Every structure is written in C-alpha cells, then in structure tokens.
Amino acid sequence: QVQLVESGGGLVQAGGSLRLSCAASGSIFSINIMAWYRQAPGKQRELVATITSGGSTNYADSAKGRFTISRDHAKNTMYLQMNNLKPEDTAVYSCFASIHTINFWGRGTQVTVSS
C-alpha cells in the first residue's frame, strides 16, 4: 500500500508560479512510476507529467517548458514546479503512483489561476 498526500495548491495570478508536493508513505520502494494528473471542471482527467524510479520524465504538451516534475527520494516526496501559469491550468491536481499494475491516488489539491 502507498499513501499519497498533495499540498501546495492555491490561488495565483496568471504568469505566477506554484510548487506542488506529493508526500508518499508506505511501500514507497516498490513504486515504478509517479505522475501528476489534473482535472478541470467539466473536463476529463489528463496526464500532466510522469517520472520513473530512475528519474526519466515525460510531459504533456501543455506542460512542456513551463512545468518540471521531480522526486526527492530522501524525503519520499514528488514535486511539480509550475511556472508561467495560465488560467487554463486551473484544475484539481492529483498525485499518482504505480506499483506494477496497482495504482494509487492522492485526494488532490486545487490550483486556481486568475487572469
């Protein structure tokens, strides 16, 4: 089992920055991949960025050049640094972790970007 707790969301003006954190506990050494997803009101959940246990990263086109995903193994924490935020980035951002075929989710943190 893995428990995931997000933090760092909030209200920010367009062009601003936020750093989201995802604190992991439990069987963290078995995690293969972690990711950030987001879901805006009335829209489907979408993948924002992924990071493997080896540190390889991938980003959605909407996140490339503005967002950076990272992991601090010593702190058992994953981050999403978001710069140059846009109103269309407004969503609930959720942390995801996978151990083989078993998926775990955090409850999410709200990010609101005002124009």
pLDDT at residue 68 in the model: 98
Q: What is the pLDDT of residues 55-112, one digit of tens each?
A: 999 999 999 999 999 999 889 999 999 999 999 999 999 999 998 889 999 999 999 9
pLDDT of residue 31: 85
Structure-token pair, residue 58: 């991938």
The answer to whether residues 29 and 2 touch, using CB atoms and an 8 Å cutoff, is no
Predicted pLDDT of residue 58: 98
Over range 28-46, report the average pLDDT.
92
pLDDT band at 1 (very low <50, low <70, confident <90, very high): confident
pLDDT at 29 over 80: no
Phi and psi at residue 3, to the nearest 5°: -110, 135
CA dihedral (89, 13, 65, 57) positive or negative: negative
Q: Are 109 and 12 in contact (CB under 8 A)?
A: no
Task: Provide mean pLDDT across the span 21-50.
Answer: 93
The DSSP 8-state label assigned to residue 84 in this structure reads: S
Beta bridge partners of 111: 10, 91
pLDDT of the residue at 27: 78
